[in-house]
Chain A
Amino acid sequence: MGGAHPYIPNSAEGSKKALMEFLGISSVEELYSDLPPDLRLGRPLKVPGPLPEQEILRAIREKLSGVRTALDMPVFLGAGCWPHHVPAAVDFVVSRTEFYTSYTPYQPEVSQGMLQALWEYQSMICELTGMEVANCSMYDWASALGEAARMAARITRRDRILVPRTIHPERLEVLRAYAEPAGLRVEQVPYDRETGQMDLEALKTMMGPDVAAVYVENPSYLGFIETQVRAIGEVAHDGGALYIVGVDPISLGLLEAPGRYGADIVVGEGQPLGNHMNFGGPLLGILACRAERRFIWQMPGRIIGLTLDSEGRKAFCMALQAREQHIRREKASSNICTNEALCAVAAAVYLALLGPRGLRELCETIIYRSHYAMKRLDELPGIKAPLFKAPHFKEFVVNYDGAGLTAEEVHEGLLKAGVHGGKPLTGEFPELGQSALYCVTELHRKEDIDRLVEALGALIRR
């Protein structure tokens, strides 16, 4: 490339020369004199470019032209990353360069905007979950769960974590990645095959003086609502364990706040709150807990606090930094540094726009539509939807056994008909037969659901 690069002011020949003259060098080489010859690459990197802007966009648009998303066909996938509308005002706010290009607010006096927005996020998460403290984000639900398990183990000085058999398998894998190096054992509590509910008796027999935490997901990975959440919490507390609840925050517009049924730590996936799916990332890990000293000081991640400036004005800054890696190093409560702050700001804007009423109405629409889908699918011969006899929110298991179809055949058939079906569960939950996990939100109109039902009906008749 000849001449200056548009992103690099001092790549202009004159500027570069001026810098070198000031430094008394004739070549940049002299600044790399300490780079041993055998460590020099000695050839250009084998990467494409440089391309002018329009060529970059052309190349990428061309690559992406064949991609088909929920904008091109009805897609009934959820399972931890959910399609919801992102209000235009959310995208606008998080596109403000002051928010999106800044760094972690190490200098609070010039970073009040980000700090206040994050504090408001923490506060709204507390209102939703019924907890009193939330951090300002983890990477995603799964890693938040991993950190919550470690946190519970530090608080209780115990080492067993009981989780439902119906946990999202990918979340379980991440939990194990976080838990096992800390010497924690993760065990799964069986469930009732009729209702999906956690087997309370089994839980009781698995309890013991070494159980650090009992974890439930509500709504569960498989879509049903866990109705015994209060009882499960009591079993955990009776055994001296903490109670961790995982949530889809959207559902809390209507469903009871975990803080009201005994949760000590709440984790969850904040992506549906104003964040695009983005092929699965970035996501937004929620982590909230009770305002007890033994909890707060064991929390991972950044926490924003309200304080005063030297003239008595309200001001915000990062609080409790003595827990964190840049101070405590190997004794820190977690290694997390960069988090998902901007996604948290999106969530704050989203919740502010919807308010309590908007969130409730959104939940109602989701429930009407998901139940409409379940009802219509269940009417098809040989199809069972939902598979579990339990209340549901936006996801549900559809079983194809009675229709003599495999989950794979249904997936292929639907895709050919221009519908992307749910996530096949055959590998994850063989005991559920030929089943798939479907998700219906406010974005799925009646006609989209009807199209799914028709396409599946045609497959059955064939």
Chain B
Amino acid sequence: MVVSQPSFRQARWEEPIIFELGAPGRRGYLPPRPEPKVVEAVGPIEDLLPKEVLREEPPRLPELSEPEVVRHFVRLSQMNYCPDLGLYPLGSCTMKYNPKVCDIVASMDQVRWAHPYQDERTVQGLLAILYELKRWLAEITGTYEVSLLPAAGAHGEFLGCLIMRAYHKHRGELARRREVIVPDSAHGTNPASAAMAGFKVITIPSDPDGCVDLEALKAAVSDRTAGLMLTNPNTLGIFESRIKEIAEVVHDAGGLLYYDGANLNAILGWSRPGDMGFDIVHVNIHKTFGTPHGGGGPGSGPIGVSEELEPFLPVPRIEYDGKRYYLDWDKPLAVAKVRSFLGNVAVLVRAYAYILALGPSGLREIAEVSVLNSNYLFRKLSGLKGVAVPQDPDRPRKHEFVISLKPLERSTGVRALNVAKRLLDHGYHAPTIYFPPIVDEAFMVEPTESFGIEDLDGFAGAMESVLREAFEEPGRVLEAPYNTAVRRVDEARASHPRTMALSWRMLRRRGGP
């Protein structure tokens, strides 16, 4: 195979900053004016508000007509890669297809226009959907009760850690139980969430397979242990087969087991975190349940807990008494809320539709095909020159896998970052790189179930081409990307005190980029 020159070209609009567009006096929206009788009744606005509370000068917002605004943002959108364009194999992010029927549900008037403080009798249907969804999530995760409140996975982790606190406090042990154990292969949010909830983070090393080192765990637990945070399959895409032993070690020490749901896709319908012994489980709705990532959010991160921890879930709870759905505020042990209202409802109703579309058979099919796709690509990529497989190559991977580009780097100087950039030229999003931190030049690939063999072959072909190019013409790869809206972005400059420009104001003050 010769090095193929990629044909992909991303739009390159060189679109001005919106503040540079438009002209004074233009506008893109006409607010309604008050009725003359209203104005007549209340008198001039100058008399309604004292001058000292008013702005001295209007905000310096852009002035544009509607077509200009729309063109600007459509041009921007064309400079943004997305999973509806092609493979987006960001490991641990589960960039699967977002079914369009779910968007229709989220845009229904009864969803969009409902106010969270409306009388329960006027929003029964919405409460019913949320109630059923939380029951389904409890069933899928093998937990006893679910809170839909958190806005994201990390938000669920934070709430979960607050529940850990409340549980130990209730047992009079919080003063002593200050430590949360996290494997060195964990997502960064795990230690960050535990620390935010006031715990000291104890990091334990992984075994050569990237799994929890049971001896290291046994050495780390004590009567200071509040809990262990774990994802299973782990961030190497390997199932922690000894999870029951792990749970036993933690439980015997009086700690709780927290499940990071980022990797739930692999085991949907096959196995449940609750059955593995996890006490608190979060679910990334925007990963596993097909809701769009929104360029960074909104997501949704419900948590499920065991029966023993149910009293600590925040209020209000969405309940059903056989006739009507209602909010139950009467839970004296409930922890404080971590955000306003009930949760990211527009995201949750999408998940409701998604589960209906898949059903038990489809959910299991998701897991199977995501694992098949992942192992297929794993096999294809691990044989390529420049690639190493740091963990047991014969052990099946789950929904994602990690390879190392260390051999490539050693012989060519081309790093995982460069390969990632060159893949962009081929019309693919790059995998997650340099994560998990325990693998050198890590390349973490999660194809998801949403792509067919041809897509996987296309990606493998692009990868082969890039690696070959790295050996033959490393300079070409080091300078990548070429075909994207901009060339290689200088990220250091964006954070340097002298060149930092975090807003139009800062930029203006500095006199340009």
Q: Does A204 contact B (CB under 8 A)?
A: no
Binary interface encoding of chain B residues 352-372 relative to chain A, with 1 for a CB under 8 A from any of its CBs, else 0: 110111111111111011011
Q: Does A337 contact B (CB under 8 A)?
A: yes
Residue of A nearest to B500 (CB): A305
Using A279-B116, A334-B192, A339-B297 as known contacts, say yes or no to A170 and B340 having CB atoms under 8 A apart: yes
Are A445 and B269 in contact, with the CB atoms below 8 A?
A: no
Q: Does B280 contact A (CB under 8 A)?
A: no
Q: Does B26 contact A (CB under 8 A)?
A: yes
Within 8 A of A (CB), among B51-88: 52-56, 58-64, 66, 69-70, 72-85, 88
Are B118 and A47 in contact, with the CB atoms below 8 A?
A: no
Q: Does A429 contact B (CB under 8 A)?
A: no
Q: Give complex CA distance A461, B60 in Å.
A: 50
Q: How many residues of B contact A (CB 8 A)?
A: 218
Q: Does A202 contact B (CB under 8 A)?
A: no
Q: Across the interface, which residues of A come within 8 angstroms of B54, CB to CB?
A: 254-256
What is the distance, in angstroms, from A391's C-beta to the closest C-beta of chain B? 5
Are B73 and A177 in contact, with the CB atoms below 8 A?
A: no
Q: Across the interface, which residues of A come within 8 angstroms of B22, CB to CB?
A: 355
Q: Give complex CA distance A348, B72 in Å.
A: 12
Q: Give complex CA distance A304, B149 in Å.
A: 27
Q: Across the interface, which residues of B come within 8 angstroms of A283, CB to CB?
A: 339-341
Choose the segment among B34-42, B213-221, B304-312, B468-476 that binds chain A (4+ C-beta atoms closer than 8 Å): B34-42
Choose the segment among A19-27, A209-217, A237-245, A394-402 that binds chain B (4+ C-beta atoms closer than 8 Å): A19-27
Are B53 and A279 in contact, with the CB atoms below 8 A?
A: no
Using A173-B337, A349-B69 as known contacts, say yes or no to A127 and B60 having CB atoms under 8 A apart: yes
Using A63-B128, A339-B296 as known contacts, say yes or no to A101 and B82 having CB atoms under 8 A apart: yes
Q: Across the interface, which residues of A come within 8 angstroms of B165, CB to CB?
A: 181
* Interchain Cβ contacts under 8 Å between A and B, 25 examples: A1-B362, A19-B373, A34-B396, A47-B136, A49-B358, A51-B357, A51-B359, A64-B108, A69-B110, A93-B69, A110-B81, A110-B424, A114-B295, A133-B503, A134-B503, A174-B338, A307-B490, A309-B486, A310-B488, A310-B490, A329-B188, A357-B27, A369-B34, A372-B41, A375-B42
Q: Across the interface, which residues of A come within 8 angstroms of B243, CB to CB?
A: 39
Q: A36-B241, A51-B356, A282-B347 are in contact. List 17 more A-B contacts (CB 8 A).
A: A32-B239, A44-B269, A69-B115, A103-B93, A106-B430, A107-B420, A109-B421, A132-B509, A177-B335, A181-B197, A182-B198, A279-B342, A330-B195, A341-B297, A342-B296, A354-B29, A355-B22
Are B125 and A307 in contact, with the CB atoms below 8 A?
A: no
Are A49 and B356 in contact, with the CB atoms below 8 A?
A: yes
Are B293 and A103 in contact, with the CB atoms below 8 A?
A: yes
Are B70 and A93 in contact, with the CB atoms below 8 A?
A: yes
Q: Across the interface, which residues of A come within 8 angstroms of B352, CB to CB?
A: 60
Using A41-B271, A93-B74, A351-B61 as known contacts, say yes or no to A174 and B154 having CB atoms under 8 A apart: no
Are B109 and A71 in contact, with the CB atoms below 8 A?
A: yes
Using A106-B90, A279-B115 as known contacts, say yes or no to A353 and B365 having CB atoms under 8 A apart: no
Choose the segment among B250-258, B407-415, B445-453 that binds chain A (4+ C-beta atoms closer than 8 Å): B445-453
Are A117 and B76 in contact, with the CB atoms below 8 A?
A: yes
Of A98, A139, A306, which one neighbours B151 at CB under 8 angstroms?
Answer: A139
Within 8 A of B (CB), among A335-358: 335-343, 345, 348-349, 351-358
Name the residue among A10, A255, A321 with the largest chain B CB count within 10 angstroms. Answer: A10
Using A112-B76, A423-B117 as known contacts, say yes or no to A8 and B292 having CB atoms under 8 A apart: no
Q: Across the interface, which residues of A come within 8 angstroms of B154, CB to CB?
A: 325, 335-338
Q: Across the interface, which residues of A come within 8 angstroms of B82, CB to CB?
A: 97-99, 101-102
What is the distance, in angstroms, from B122's C-beta to the closest C-beta of chain A? 5
Binary interface encoding of chain B residues 377-388 relative to chain A, with 1 for a CB under 8 A from any of its CBs, else 0: 001000000000
Residue of B nearest to A146 (CB): B338
Residue of B nearest to A319 (CB): B494
Of B10, B18, B344, which one neighbours A352 at CB under 8 angstroms?
Answer: B18
Residue of A nearest to B184 (CB): A329
Question: Total A-B residue pairs with C-beta atoms closer than 8 Å?
Answer: 734
Q: Give complex CA distance A26, B445 in Å.
A: 24
Q: 9 tightest A-B contacts by CB?
A: A49-B359, A280-B341, A280-B116, A341-B296, A342-B294, A305-B494, A113-B80, A181-B198, A50-B359
Name the residue among B295, B353, B371 with the largest chain A CB count within 10 angstroms. Answer: B295
Q: Give complex CA distance A143, B347 in Å.
A: 18
Q: Give complex CA distance A118, B76 in Å.
A: 11
What is the distance, in angstroms, from A346's C-beta to the closest C-beta of chain B? 10
Of A9, A150, A311, A319, which one neighbours B495 at CB under 8 angstroms?
Answer: A319
Of A142, A176, A319, A337, which one neighbours B502 at CB under 8 angstroms?
Answer: A319
Q: Give complex CA distance A173, B60 in Å.
A: 35
Are A53 and B357 in contact, with the CB atoms below 8 A?
A: yes
Q: Does B283 contact A (CB under 8 A)?
A: no
Q: Across the interface, which residues of B come within 8 angstroms of A181, CB to CB?
A: 161-162, 165, 196-198
Binary interface encoding of chain A residues 73-105 relative to chain B, with 1 for a CB under 8 A from any of its CBs, else 0: 001010111010001010111011111111111
What is the distance, in angstroms, from B275's C-beta to the closest C-beta of chain A? 6
Q: Across the interface, which residues of A come within 8 angstroms of B107, CB to CB?
A: 91
Q: Does B119 contact A (CB under 8 A)?
A: yes
Residue of B nearest to A278 (CB): B346
Binary interface encoding of chain A residues 43-60 relative to chain B, with 1 for a CB under 8 A from any of its CBs, else 0: 011111111010111011
Are A371 and B42 in contact, with the CB atoms below 8 A?
A: yes
Using A7-B99, A309-B486 as known contacts, say yes or no to A31 and B396 having CB atoms under 8 A apart: yes
